[in-house]
Homo-oligomer: A and B are copies of this chain.
């Protein structure tokens, strides 16, 4: 029963992430491993922190990648900032707001939920009302870009409201970072986490985070110990903090960090504004093609994420069968809906390296073929011309 080396197929990843990884990142990850306390590695860590500060548009000292996926980054924010008994306002408009609630409760806090429909942005008025009803709230948490629905909320407005009530704010930017503006300092975000496998075009497994001075103060003056040893920032900072002397905390995922460093160098080379524009451009072309085919976007125009396109599945079409066919015939992955959206939407990612005309045209072509063969009610032959026109109009 001997197992052999694993050779994955070459897919085109247009789901909610992981997205297509830049080959430069894959090559970087295969460079020789060195020690996590090697002075050369420590210099690389400093560069990585600066590159992340650029990506997050922040001067926050405490800006670094958590050695785990986005969920570990989320939990790092909550376990450090929530103490038992704390009241936290959590805005939910998709799967990940629900996960925030779980985090608050497992830290011994109380979550006050502000609910919006899945597929809509968070309503700032509802947050105002909740803060007025709960003047003892200490934190507000929301998802900037809901990966489960493709809706983007107005982070700047929500942070302002929270600060007026003297709450710190935790923001999930897993799907927005690198794809649409995330301006940590300008918006005044206190704690933010993201992932590497979306618009940064890196492999999954790391979670960039950043904390404001105010958040750091709160963490330093906690009454109780952080419940997680692994995620306790007071300890993690001994390794990721400044200065030549790094204290061993855990063994950093060396080669994964090479990959993230390379992904961020690529982002710096392109420039954030250009990356945002590229995502918007690819999105407009996909949108034009999808609508020409007769399919509909489920998120309102002004709340749509360019990098995550939620498309309604036409009546009578078998969701899983379409995705399986795309994978089998075209090595193309698109995403399913989650929770109440399961079976109702497809999630088409245009993230990072994958946000380009080639992927747009390929996806439209493959989808049209598979849907036609399944006799779905679509307009044939219209998608590509519409996409071409949108690409040209940029």
In the bound complex, what is the Cα–Cα distance between A252 and B197 (angstroms)?
A: 10
A38-75 contact mask (Cβ, 8 Å, vs B): 1 or 0: 11110010010011000000000000000111111011
| Residues of chain B lying within 8 A (CB to CB) of residue A105 | 225
| Contact in complex: A204, B3 (CB < 8 Å) | no
Chain A: residues with Cβ within 8 Å of the partner, total of 83
Q: Is A362 an interface residue (CB 8 A)?
A: no
| Contact in complex: A204, B103 (CB < 8 Å) | no
Question: Which positions 236-272 of chain A face chain B at CB distance < 8 Å?
Answer: 248-256, 258-259, 261-262, 264-265, 268-269
Q: Is A21 an interface residue (CB 8 A)?
A: yes
| Contact in complex: A106, B227 (CB < 8 Å) | yes
Partner of A69 from the list B67, B197, B225, B226 (CB cut-off 8 Å) is B67
Q: Is A15 an interface residue (CB 8 A)?
A: yes
| Contact in complex: A17, B228 (CB < 8 Å) | no
**A10 CB, nearest partner CB in chain B, Å:** 5
| Contact in complex: B225, A106 (CB < 8 Å) | yes
In the bound complex, what is the Cα–Cα distance between A75 and B227 (angstroms)?
A: 10
**A186 CB, nearest partner CB in chain B, Å:** 20
Stretch at the interface among A26-34, A132-140, A159-167, A294-302: A26-34
| Residues of chain B lying within 8 A (CB to CB) of residue A13 | 33-35
Q: Is A333 an interface residue (CB 8 A)?
A: yes
Number of copies: 2
Q: Is A327 an interface residue (CB 8 A)?
A: yes
Q: Is A2 an interface residue (CB 8 A)?
A: yes
| Contact in complex: B8, A32 (CB < 8 Å) | yes
**A279 CB, nearest partner CB in chain B, Å:** 19
| Residues of chain B lying within 8 A (CB to CB) of residue A392 | none
| Contact in complex: A40, B227 (CB < 8 Å) | no
Closest to A2 in B: B268
| Contact in complex: B30, A106 (CB < 8 Å) | no
| Contact in complex: B33, A30 (CB < 8 Å) | no
| Contact in complex: A203, B33 (CB < 8 Å) | yes
| Contact in complex: A11, B32 (CB < 8 Å) | yes
| Contact in complex: A10, B32 (CB < 8 Å) | yes
**A255 CB, nearest partner CB in chain B, Å:** 4
Q: Given A4-B265, A8-B33, A228-B228, list of 11 further CB < 8 A pairs?
A: A9-B40, A11-B38, A33-B204, A67-B68, A67-B205, A68-B230, A71-B229, A71-B249, A106-B225, A107-B227, A227-B227
Residues on A lying within 8 angstroms of B by beta carbon are 1-11, 13, 15, 17-18, 20-21, 24, 26-36, 38-41, 44, 47, 50-51, 67-72, 74-75, 79, 99, 102-103, 105-107, 195, 197, 203-205, 225-230, 248-256, 258-259, 261-262, 264-265, 268-269, 327, 333, 338
Closest 4 CB pairs of A and B: A205-B253, A30-B30, A71-B250, A68-B68
